[in-house]
Amino acid sequence: MANELHHPLIQHHLTGLRDKSTPPHLFREHIRRLTLLLAYEATRSLPLSSTEIETPLKKTQGEKLSCRIGLVPILRAGLGMSAAVQDLIPESEVWHLGFYRDESTHQPVEYYRKFSAAPPDIAFVLDPMLATGGSASESIQIVKTWGVGKISLLSIIAAPEGISKVEANHPDVEIFTCSIDDHLNENAYIVPGLGDAGDRIFNTF
Regarding 81 and contact with ligand URA (CB under 6 A), the answer is: no
Q: What is the footprint of ligand URA within residues 108-167 (CB under 6 A)?
A: 129, 131
User: Residue 48 or residue 168: which is nearer to ligand PRP going by CB?
Assistant: 168
Specify whether 19 is catalytic.
no
Choose one: 12-20, 111-119, 169-177, 194-202; the region binding ligand URA (CB under 6 A): 194-202
CB of 93 to ligand PRP, least distance (A): 21
d(CA 139, CA 113): 10
To ligand PRP, the closest distance from the beta carbon of 133 in angstroms equals 5
Closest residue to bound ligand PRP by CB? 198
Show contacts with ligand PRP in window 155-194 (CB under 6 A).
162, 188
Q: What's the distance, Cα to Cα, between the start and end of the chain in Å? A: 34
CA–CA separation, 105 and 61 (whole Å): 55
Please identify which of the residues 68, 101, 113, 121 carries the catalytic annotation: 101
HSE of 3 in the Cβ direction (CA atoms, 13 Å)?
Answer: 18
67 CB-near residues (< 8 Å, 6+ apart): 46, 47, 120, 121, 122
Which amino acid, one-letter code, is at 66?
S
106, burial (CB in 10 Å: exposed 0-12, middle 13-18, buried 19+): middle
Determine the Cα–Cα distance for residues 18 and 53; give it in Å rounded to an integer. 45
Query: Which one among 106, 113, 144, 150 touches ligand PRP, defined by CB under 6 A?
Result: 106
Residue 202 as a binder of ligand URA (CB under 6 A): the answer is no
Binding stretches for ligand PRP (CB under 6 A): 74, 76-77, 99-101, 106, 108, 127, 129-136, 162, 188, 196-198
Q: Catalytic amino acids?
A: 101, 105, 196, 199
